[in-house]
Structure formats: structure tokens, C-alpha cells
Amino acid sequence: MATMRQVAQRAGVSAKTVSRVVNNDRYVSDDVRQRVERAIADLQYVPNLLARTFRYGRDAAIGIAVPDISDPFFAAAIRAVEEIARDRGVALFVTSVGTDGTFEQIGVEALLGRQIVGLISTPVAADQSYLMRWLSRTAMVFIDRAPSNITADTVVEDDRGGGYAATAHLIEHGHRRIGFIGDSSSIATTAGRLEGYGAALADAGIDEDRRLVTFGALSSHEAAEATWDLLSRRKPPTALFSSNARCSIGVVPALQGRGRTDIALVGYGDFPLASALRPALTVIGQNPDALGKAAATRLFQRLDNPSRRSKRLTVLPVRLLVRASCASAQDHQHVTMAGHLAT
């Protein structure tokens, strides 16, 4: 069986250059690539996975753990990680750990037990200190939210900034009573969006009414119930901020089912058909592809240069995608008056 060194001698290059061609490194000239590929064909060389990952002493594989692989946001992030891993000739193991933290340690340590060289994980439990014993031999990057009781690379989005932008947009349309619908205040992403919501109200001189903030919407059905509850109050909101796409998928039909298209709505996170709704839903646009790529890039940087010093936290921007779901407060007043006249 031919070796990488023999291929290098035949092509007149170094073994490292052969490795770069095998791993499809783009920083190889066409001439060199053709010589190496010709030598590989002549010698019928087959890359040895174990030799290629000898530096790790383990199989060339990484793992990713997310709350739910069927969630469009995390599915897109996984695809981005897989793309970079594939370019590096590295396999990817994927697992879901749920949203309440109960199965996080079991699921993550099951991945680590496969002797992976690197882990990308979204923390859902309150404490990630159980990973301390794995840090010395496994590179780790956390995505979407920072871990607790452990220091590691983290790639997140600007949740506070997104919450601020969504709320400020509704305020610009004249709304002062803005409801907030979220899953749990213990989830870092939700807490950040709530912080941005409160900051936007404060900057506009609007007192935050905690009676307009509701949690517990862990499903689209619960988000619909939260919507009905807010709108049935004596002093209901004229606008709503849905703090994630799952909530929005419940809020939209809840409003339309009761003919409440006068209620302005901004959702956090885009989702399929959001732009096709009538009215089209204004959202805070996330970029799960960029999140996944940034996390995978950082993970391989750590694997390639374990001693390299670099900042631990990367915050990616989000942006407001303005569509048609933000009726003005005046529109709300007109609809309300018409409803009173009709009765």
C-alpha cells in the first residue's frame, strides 16, 4: 500500500502538501494539485484516516449537541458545521438534548464517549461544570448561549440588540403598550431579548409594565394561549414582541383566528413562509449559517493551534427585516372604535 511520503516523492512536494490536496485545501496551486492527484492515481494511494488524525490519537470526528435538530435554526447551523467538517475530512456526530436541561449531560457525554476531538454544544442546563474533566483533551465551542461555570469559546448572536431593535420599531409606530411573549427567563437568549425590550422602553421614556410580559410559551400552542391571555386583559397591549420563531408560529394564527390584524407584531427569528403571510411578518433576522460556520472555524482553530490565544466570546449581529405586520397605534384605535360601534 502506497504511503503519503511516496506520493510526495513522486509529485516532488512535501508530505504536508499532499495532505493539503487530500483535504481539499484551497491554498494549493492548480499545477501542484494536478501533480499530486496524478501521483495519487499512479500509486493508487488511499488516505489513511488514522494516520491523518494521528496528532489527535483518536478518530477524525467532532460532535454537535443542540436542543432540537428539527428546529430550522439549529438545522441550518448543523448544516454549516457539517460543510466545514466535510472540507476537513472530519465526520460529524449530531444529537438533540431537549430544552429543559434534563438530558443535556447524558446526551453530551454520550457524544464525548465516542472519542470525538471537538464538541460544539448549545447549553440548556443551568450548569456545564460537568465538562471540566473533558476540556483537557477535547476542544469545545458553545453556540447560541454562553455556558455556566466553565470557560470556553462561545459564539452567540446579539440577543439584547435584537430585542432592542424589535421594540424600538414598534415604539416608532406609536405603540406604548407592547406585550412580550417568551419561553423561559432562565434561557439566556430569552433573557437577553427581554433586556433589550426593557432598554428600548426606558430609552423612549415608557414605564415597563411587567403585566405585559409573559413566559411559559414552550410550544406554539402555549404561545397562542399567551396571546389570548394578554389581549383579554382590561388594558391589553396594542403590539406584541414574540421572542422566538416557535412562539411566532403560535401567535400569528392566534391573532388571525380572532381577526386581530390590528395588533402589531414583531417576531424574533425568521421562519419559512413568514414573508408570505398576510400581513407579512416583520422579524429580527438571525443567521444560523454564519453561527455554525463561526463555531466550526473556531473549533478547528483550537484543534490546529491549541496554545493560540484568542478572545473567547464572538457576538454576531442580527438585523431587523421590516415587512407589513406593524400596524400603527392609530390603526389599532380605529379598529377598536369600530368594534365598539358595531356592538
| Amino acid 48: pLDDT | 53
Give the end-to-end CA distance of the chain in Å, rounded to a whole number.
Answer: 87
The DSSP secondary-structure symbol of 92 reads E
| Amino acid 334: pLDDT | 42
| Amino acid 159: pLDDT | 98
pLDDT tens digits for range 172-231: 999 999 999 999 998 899 999 999 999 999 999 999 999 999 999 989 999 999 999 999
Strand order in the sheet with 239-242: 213-214, 178-181, 239-242, 264-268, 282-285, 319-321
Decide which of 72 and 95 is more confident.
95
| Amino acid 330: pLDDT | 56
| Amino acid 44: pLDDT | 78
Q: How far is CA 32 from the centre of its chain?
A: 39
Q: How confident is the model at residue 339 (pLDDT cuts 50, 70, 90)?
A: very low
Q: Is 104 exposed, middle or buried (0-12, 13-18, 19+ CB in 10 A)?
A: buried
- CA Rg, the chain, in Å? 25
| Amino acid 94: pLDDT | 97
Given CA atoms 210, 216, 217, 222 in this order, what sign does their dihedral have?
negative
At 306 the three-state DSSP class reads: coil
| Amino acid 340: pLDDT | 33
Query: In terms of Cα–Cα distance, which of 48, 49, 63, 47 is closest to 115?
Result: 63
pTM score, two decimals? Answer: 0.77
| Amino acid 99: pLDDT | 85
Q: How confident is the model at residue 15 (pLDDT cuts 50, 70, 90)?
A: confident
| Amino acid 59: pLDDT | 57
pLDDT tens digits for range 266-291: 999 998 889 999 999 999 999 999 99
Kindly give the pairing relationship between strand 319-321 and strand 282-285: antiparallel
Query: In terms of Cα–Cα distance, which of 109, 91, 108, 239 is closest to 176?
Result: 239
Which residue, chain included where needed, has cell 391573532? 255
pLDDT tens digits for range 295-338: 999 999 998 888 788 889 999 999 999 999 997 665 544 433 33
Contact residues for 256 (Cβ-Cβ < 8 A; gap 6+) = none
- Between CA 278 and CA 266 the distance in angstroms is 14
- Phi-psi sector, 42: left (phi>0), alpha (psi -120 to 50), beta: alpha
At 58 the three-state DSSP class reads: coil
User: Average pLDDT in the 149-162 region?
Assistant: 97
pLDDT tens digits for range 18-52: 888 877 777 899 999 999 989 988 887 766 544 44
User: How many helices and strands in the chain, by DSSP H and E?
Assistant: 13, 12
The DSSP secondary-structure symbol of 218 reads -
- Lowest model confidence (mean pLDDT) among 21-25, 89-93, 124-128, 174-178: 21-25
Strand order in the sheet with 61-66: 91-96, 61-66, 118-121, 139-143, 153-157, 313-316
- On the question of pLDDT at 54 being above 90, the answer is no
Grid cell locating 62: 467532532
Grid cell locating 98: 431537549
| Amino acid 341: pLDDT | 29
Query: In terms of Cα–Cα distance, which of 271, 296, 291 is closest to 281?
Result: 271
| Amino acid 136: pLDDT | 82
Write the CA distances from 271 to 72, 122, 152, 261, 323, integer angstroms: 7, 20, 30, 19, 13
